[in-house]
C-alpha cells in the first residue's frame, strides 16, 4: 500500500450516519473562498497545481473507492486513475467551487467502469477499512464499536445504488445537491434513494 493510501486508512473515522464534518486538511469553505486559484492553474497546465490537487483530495477519493467496495489494491489504482482522468479532462473544470463535485463525478465514473469490466468481482465490505483506535475503553465504548460494526455490515449489504447514496452523503459528507450531481440523478431521485437506503439500514439493524 502506498503511503498516501496507508495514511488515509489510518485516519479513517467512524462518522457513519452523523452530522459530523470531516477535516481533510482543508475545509470546503476555504476552497470556496479562493475562486479561480487552483482551477485556473490546473486549466493552465500547472503541474504544481496538479500535485496540490492530489495532496488535498487523495484521502477523500481513496476512502470513497474503499467505501464503494473496492479492495486496497483496486482502491489505490482507481484513485490514481481518477487523478489521471481529471488531469486529462481538466478543460471541463469551471471553477474552484465546482472542483469537489467534479472530482467526485470522475471518481464515480471510474468506479462504475471498473465494476463493468469486473462484473464477477466481489465487493469488499466497508468493515474492511481500518479505523484508528479512539483509545476509549469501557462498556459505552464497546457498545459504540459494536453499533459501528452493525452499521458497516448493513451498508455493505445494500444494493450498489443505495450504498452509493449513504457513502456520498453520510461518509463523504457531500451535500444533497453535490451528491445528486455525482450520482447523475435529480435531487428528488437522490433523496428518494437515500430514504430507501436509511429504511433498509434500519430494518436490517432491528
What are the pLDDT digits (tens) for 167-206? 999 888 899 999 999 999 999 999 999 999 999 988 887 7
- Domain range 18-124, its CATH number among 1.10.1740.10, 2.40.110.10, 2.40.30.170, 2.60.34.30: 1.10.1740.10
* Confidence check: pLDDT of 31 > 50: no
Q: Please, which pLDDT band fits residue 24 given cuts at 50, 70 and 90? A: very low
pLDDT at 130: 46
Please tell me which of 13-27, 35-49, 175-189 the model is most confident about, judged by mean pLDDT: 175-189
Q: What is the pLDDT of residue 28?
A: 45
Q: C-alpha cell of 82? A: 481518477
Q: Which residue has the higher pLDDT, 168 or 122?
A: 168
Residue 63 in this model has a pLDDT that exceeds 80: yes
Tell the CATH topology of 137-206.
Arc Repressor Mutant, subunit A (1.10.10)
At 87-102, the pLDDT tens digits run 888 888 776 667 888 9
Q: Domains of the chain: which residue ranges?
A: 18-124, 137-206
Cβ contact 151:17 at 8 Å: yes
Which position has the higher pLDDT, 4 or 54? 54
pLDDT of residue 94: 74
Q: What pLDDT shows up at residue 32?
A: 44
Query: How many other C-beta atoms can be found within 10 angstroms of the C-beta atom of residue 145?
Result: 15
Which residues contact residue 181 at a Cβ distance below 8 angstroms, ignoring those fewer than 6 apart? 101, 105
Residue from 47, 49, 51, 55 nearest 24 by CA:
55
Between 160 and 78, the more confident residue is 78
DSSP H helices, the chain, are 3-11, 28-32, 37-43, 47-67, 72-88, 96-117, 139-157, 160-166, 176-183, 187-204
E strand or H helix that includes residue 146: helix 139-157
CB-based contacts of 68: which residues, under 8 Å, 6+ apart?
A: 111, 123, 163, 164, 167
Amino acid at each position: 500500500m502506498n503511503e498516501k493510501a496507508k495514511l488515509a486508512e489510518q485516519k479513517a473515522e467512524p462518522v457513519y450516519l452523523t452530522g459530523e464534518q470531516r477535516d481533510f486538511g482543508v475545509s470546503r469553505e476555504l476552497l470556496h473562498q479562493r475562486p479561480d486559484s487552483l482551477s485556473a492553474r490546473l486549466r493552465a497546465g500547472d503541474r504544481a497545481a496538479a500535485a496540490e490537487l492530489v495532496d488535498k483530495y487523495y484521502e477523500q477519493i481513496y476512502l470513497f473507492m474503499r467505501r464503494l467496495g473496492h479492495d486496497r489494491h483496486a482502491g489505490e489504482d482507481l484513485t490514481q486513475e481518477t487523478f489521471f482522468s481529471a488531469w486529462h479532462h481538466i478543460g471541463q473544470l469551471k471553477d474552484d467551487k465546482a472542483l469537489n463535485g467534479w472530482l467526485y463525478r470522475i471518481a464515480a465514473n471510474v468506479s462504475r467502469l471498473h465494476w463493468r469490466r469486473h462484473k464477477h468481482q466481489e465487493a469488499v465490505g466497508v468493515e474492511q477499512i481500518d479505523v484508528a483506535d479512539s483509545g476509549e475503553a469501557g462498556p459505552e465504548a464497546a457498545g459504540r464499536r459494536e453499533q459501528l460494526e452493525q452499521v458497516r455490515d448493513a451498508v455493505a449489504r445494500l444494493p450498489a445504488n443505495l450504498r452509493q447514496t449513504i457513502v456520498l452523503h453520510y461518509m463523504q459528507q457531500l451535500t444533497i445537491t453535490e451528491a445528486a450531481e455525482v450520482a447523475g440523478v435529480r435531487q428528488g431521485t437522490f433523496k428518494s434513494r437515500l430514504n430507501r437506503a436509511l429504511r433498509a439500514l434500519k430494518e436490517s439493524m432491528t
